[in-house]
Amino acid sequence: MDALVPLVFLVPLASALLTLTALQGLHRDSARISIVGAFATFLCASSLLGLALAGHTSDEIRFGTTWGVLLFDPLSSLMAFVVSGISLIVHVYSRRYMAEERGYATFFVLLDLMTAALLLMVTAGDLITLLIAWHLIGVLLYFLLGQDSTSHTAHRYAAWTLLTYRFGDLLLLLAAALLYHAFGTWSLHGIFEQVADAPDVRTLFGLPLVETVAGLVALSAFARSAQFLLHIWLPYTMSGPTPVSALMHAGIVNAGGFLINRFAPLFVHTDGVLHWIFVVGLVTAVIGSVLMLAQNDIKKALGYSTMGQMGFMIMECGVGAFSLAVYHLIAHGLFKGTLFLGAGGVISEAREDDGVPKDDLYTFVVERRSARQRQPWLLMAAVTLVVPVTILVLAHWLVAEDFFQKQGAVVLLFFGWVTGAQLIFSTYRMRTENIWRLMGMILFSFTIVVLGYTFISHAFDVFLYPDEAFRSQIYAAAGIDIFWFDTLVILMSLVVVFGWLVTYYTEQNGRRWKGALSTLWHGFYTLVSREFFVINAYARLSGFLVAAATRLNVLLRWS
């Protein structure tokens, strides 16, 4: 194990050096070296995950006295497996995809270096190593996104990405400096032990250290994971190479969830920070999902979809479901990476023939026809509300009877409830002869998905945080006063029930958008189509800063 942990990031580093050496001689064939290195890295990471699953205890591998520490634990082994696996797929895909691009071999060098930096980040056991890897990822991503040296757009948005990442880097650097100032060590393990012994320690200006550092770490995670107001770089970097877009989901844009999990021993001693994390994640999830629906470019739509999913991931951290956030980032990384790698093929086929069969689903989606047989709207509203919540409650009760004692778990059930209700409503609107048979098939699929998600997420919980007391601490830190929580639950339940009743009634009697409602709807559509004018605000701000810098330059006679 002591040899495997450093090999995980040393192998792709060696592969990058060999590929760079072979640039002049092999050129196109140099990609084979990179692919072999990616495969060897994946084997090493798989072995580490196997050791972790076998019950090997966490360990530190030290290469220096103050820093240079690598950490073997469930989180690092799992993330290393995911990063190396997606990296291997991207390597193999890029061999043909990038064949006609300039800088072909250089691209594979950067790909190997990015893989090495990501693996160094997930295995870092001290703050300096973590900061180095965190910074390198942003720099390497800049060069990967700007691979096409002739594209002004690619370089422009690559620069946006670099600036956003530098903002997050500075916050993480400040957090590291505060921790070192308070505890005199760079070791994450040592810091977490001292925080557990003295969680009320103060830092500069009398600020509470744990709350301050947790806030800085959260803001750094927001920048890396494209949370609202720091998200512009993500959908606009889709002009970069498709393999880079896929690799971004291997631990780059997902890194916010990893960072919060790595600092989980700090967050268990906070409460207000987790509440703000939940709010930011919720806002990002809603806005990202809405903006995704307004896009006509497939890659940009995928970018906003990623923004929405990263919002859900951060929101899960905010309710104390840290391990669920890791499960989410892995599942989303695999799913979205596959979509990016297949986007080009979908576009190519759609240009020749849409290939969509003219069946009931097509008729519903494209022609927007209603179902032939209309069921009583009140009955369908009752089914929509009762069936999903029953399936969700039973599935989670099978996993853990005390699940419903955790406030964060109840919040997650609400989202599952709304999602299941939306699925049934879509079924209700579809054109079909036998709506109950179709609904039965969809509910069966929904049940299988919920059961799978429930058992897998519980397995992640036990694997990543085997200490049950620590898991309870995380949920407790995310909780609020029980009176206000129960009040919010009751109010939200009433809102959901009333909303679905209105939805079904409106569907039954037809929509009538008139007067003020019509104006309000068009105004909302304009706001969404212009992406909430965030990019315009940034353009105005940059113009103001450039003008101010020009005036200052003239005033001080610097040129």
What phi and psi, each to the nearest 5 degrees, are found at residue 238? -75, -10
What global pTM score does this model have? 0.85
HSE of 287, CA atoms in CB hemisphere, 13 A: 22
Domain boundaries, the chain: 1-125, 154-353, 356-511, 515-559
HSE of 23, CA atoms in CB hemisphere, 13 A: 13
Per the DSSP assignment, residues forming a β-bridge with 61 are: 70
For residue 486, what are its two tokens? 């129960």
For residue 218, what are its two tokens? 């959260």
How many other CB atoms are found less than 10 A from the CB of residue 344? 13
Position 178 scores a pLDDT of 94
CA distances to 105, 230, 325, 519, 553 from 221, in Å:
32, 10, 13, 38, 35
Position 260 scores a pLDDT of 94
> CA–CA separation, 192 vs 264, rounded Å?
9
How many other CB atoms are found less than 10 A from the CB of residue 20? 17
Whether the CB-CB separation of 461 and 400 falls below 8 Å is answered with: no
Q: Give the residue among 190, 159, 172, 169 at the shortest CA–CA distance from 62.
A: 190
HSE of 74, CA atoms in CB hemisphere, 13 A: 17
Position 371 scores a pLDDT of 47
Position 380 scores a pLDDT of 78
pLDDT in tens, the chain (559 residues): 667 888 898 999 998 888 877 665 555 677 888 899 999 999 999 999 998 988 888 788 888 778 888 999 999 999 999 999 999 999 999 888 887 777 788 888 999 999 999 999 999 999 999 999 999 999 999 998 887 767 777 778 888 888 889 999 999 999 999 999 999 999 999 999 999 888 888 888 888 999 999 999 999 999 999 899 888 888 887 777 888 888 887 678 989 999 999 999 999 988 789 999 999 999 998 898 888 888 877 778 888 888 988 998 999 899 888 988 898 889 888 888 888 888 766 666 666 665 555 555 555 545 544 445 566 777 778 888 888 888 877 777 776 666 666 777 777 777 788 877 877 777 777 656 666 777 777 777 777 777 777 788 888 888 998 888 888 888 888 888 787 788 888 888 888 888 888 877 777 776 655 666 677 877 888 888 888 888 888 888 888 888 898 888 888 876 5
> CA–CA separation, 458 vs 359, rounded Å?
39
* Cα-based angle 531, 535, 541 (whole degrees, multiple of 5): 150
Position 558 scores a pLDDT of 67
